[in-house]
Amino acid sequence: MTDRITTLGTGYGYGASTAERNKVLRNTYWLLAMSLVPTVLGAWLGVATGITLGLTGFLGLAVFMGGAFGFIYAIEKTKNSAAGVPVLLGFTFFMGLMLSRMIAMVLGFKNGSELIMTAFGGTAGVFFVMASLSSVIKRDLSGMGKWLFVGALAIMVGGIINVFVGSTAGMMAISVAAIGVFSAYMLYDLKRIVDGGETNYISATLALYLDIVNVFQSLLALLGIMGGERD
């Protein structure tokens, strides 16, 4: 969740024409779909090899934050060049690796595969609803940005604390809050594209990808805690 903080824009802009907005939206959707491939590959590799199982506590937090912030910095630096897409896809592979530890834990449940598919379906449903809303809502949502930032920051701090505390109730509360905040972020980010506030499809994809990953992992955590069935 921490990496979403670094992608916040400075606000809306309305200089882009309708054709340019549609092009950014179309390219964003294509790149977003493409980004799921290395994510799945990274998650599969992590589960198959167990390479991330030792990344717990402070070590796991340090690796995740260092890798995430490093990749996001590189994406922002290359977003206007030919290297932007490969760097973004490299980041999504890294995120897949980071997700693999949670996925492996959920797969340890008897109904683990069902829980993963439920989380994936729930995330897809949230995205569909927010994409639909972004196309029909006429109101300027730029004012949401500062409140969402505060919410994301609170979730980040709570998540870091809970890494060391290890509270199940804390994890549930953080997951519920994250689902709400990052679902709203999906609407905010999509509306920015629709309104012409985001004109770079790589930056737009990065923001939406982080929203989706945060909703998915939060749903998966909740489902694992509440619905995991042990043998």
State how far the Cα of 195 lies from the Cα of 46, in Å rounded to an integer.
Answer: 38
Task: Supply the pTM of this predicted model.
Answer: 0.88
Tens-place pLDDT, residues 104-153: 989 988 888 999 999 999 999 999 999 999 989 888 888 888 899 999 99
Tens-place pLDDT, residues 54-109: 666 667 778 888 888 899 999 999 999 989 999 999 999 999 999 998 899 899 88
Question: What are the structural domain ranges in the chain?
Answer: 2-227
Angstrom distances, CA of residue 30 to CA of 42, 68, 120, 201, 205: 19, 22, 18, 10, 9
Tens-place pLDDT, residues 179-220: 999 999 999 999 999 888 888 999 999 999 999 999 999 999
Residues 5-24: b if buried by 16+ CB within 10 A, e if exposed:
eebbbeebeeebeeeebeeb
